[in-house]
Amino acid sequence: MNGILPLYKERGMTSNDCVFKCRRIFKMKKIGHSGTLDPGVDGVLPICLGNATKVVNYLMDSGKVYTGEITLGFATATEDLEGKIIARQKIVQPFSEIAIENAMKELTGEMIQIPPLYSAIKVKGRRLYEYARAGDPVERPKRKIRVDYFKQVKKTVYDSEKNLQRIYFEVGCGKGTYIRTLAVDLGKKLGVPAVMSELTRLASGGFTISEAISLTDLEKAAGEGTLSRFLVDSDHALQNFPHYELKSQEWEIVKNGGFLEENKLKKLFGKAPQIVLIYGKKVRCIYKLNTEKKRYQPEQMIDLSEGE
C-alpha cells in the first residue's frame, strides 16, 4: 500500500507513537512521518506509506499553519508548559493589542532562530535534549527560518489575580520553525518572560486539520477493509513541480538512472530546477537540472515498477 495519510495526532502522543500505531493498523513497516509534533501538541501530521516515504522531504518543504496561546509572565526550560519554571515577572500593566501586534510583525519574514535546548536537533551525534538532561554544555546551532505571518486571532486576556496575560495567535511558517521559541521571542520583544501554553497544527504538507483522520477512524476502517480510501497519492507532495510524461524510449533510459538532455525539455519548462517524471500513469521519479552539464539527472527515484 502506497500513499500519504493526513493523520490527526492527539495530545499525549509522540509522532513516533503515531508511526508505530499506523504500522500496526496497516500491517506494514515502511511508514514515516513528515515533521515532528511535540507530545503536548495536536493537529495535522502527514504520514507516508510505502513508496510515498520517498517524498517526505518534499512534504516538509511545504508551509505549516499553527494556532495557539502564549502566556506572558513566566518562562520555562522547555519553552512550553512541560518544563520547569526558570523566570517570573508579574504583568502589572497589560500590553495593548497594538503593542502585541507590532511585536508580532517584528517576528515575520526571514530570520535566524536558535532552537530550544529541549529539542531533537543533533549536535555532534547527540540530541539537544540529551545535553540538557545530562547538564552538559552545548552550543545550539543557528537556523534560518521563515515566518509568513504572525497575528492575533482574538483579544488578549489579562489575569489580574495571577498577573499573567494570554495572547491567542495564528502563525504561518516554513519548515524548521519552532513555535515555542517564537513565543519566547515575542516575550523578549515585549520585555517579559513568555511561554507557549497551547498549540495546534492547523495545516501541514498541503493538508488541513479538517482533512485529518484520527487513529480511531483508522482502526474502524481497518476492520472494514477500507483503509485505502484515506490515502492520497504521492504526487500530492509534488504538485508544485512541473510534470513530464515520459515516452517509452525515455522510460527505458530513466528507469536505469540515465540522463535527459536539457534541450529536450527546455521548450516545455525553461530551466526548471526539478521535474516530476511520469510513466504509465505513475509518478516515477524527480529529476534535477545540472546546469553545468546541461542535463536532467536523478534526484529521487520513487517507483520503478513495471506496468501501470
CATH-assigned architecture of domain 3-60+206-236? 2-Layer Sandwich (3.30)
Q: 64-204: what fold?
A: Pseudouridine synthase (3.30.2350)
Q: How far apart are CA 69 and CA 40, in angstroms?
A: 13
Enumerate the CATH 3.30.2350.10 domain ranges in the chain, comma separated: 3-60+206-236, 64-204
CATH class of the domain at 241-301: mainly beta
Region(s) of the chain under CATH 2.30.130.10: 241-301
pLDDT tens over the chain, length 308 residues? 899 999 999 999 999 999 999 999 999 999 999 888 989 999 999 999 999 999 998 988 888 999 999 999 999 999 999 999 999 999 999 999 999 999 999 999 999 998 888 888 888 888 888 888 898 888 888 999 999 999 999 999 999 999 999 999 999 999 889 999 999 999 999 999 999 999 999 999 999 999 999 999 999 999 999 999 999 999 999 988 999 999 999 999 999 999 998 887 887 888 889 999 999 989 999 999 998 898 999 999 998 887 55
Torsion angle of alpha carbons 135, 138, 142, 145, nearest 10°?
-30
The C-alpha cell 515575542 sits at 186
192 within 8 A of 66, measured Cβ to Cβ: no
The candidate with the shortest Cα–Cα distance to 129, out of 71, 187, 178, 200, is 178
Catalytic residue from among 38, 42, 80, 235: 38
The CA distance from 197 to 292, in Å, is 50
Cα-Cα-Cα-Cα torsion 161, 165, 168, 169, nearest 10 degrees, comes to -170
Known catalytic membership, residue 38: yes
| pTM for this prediction | 0.91
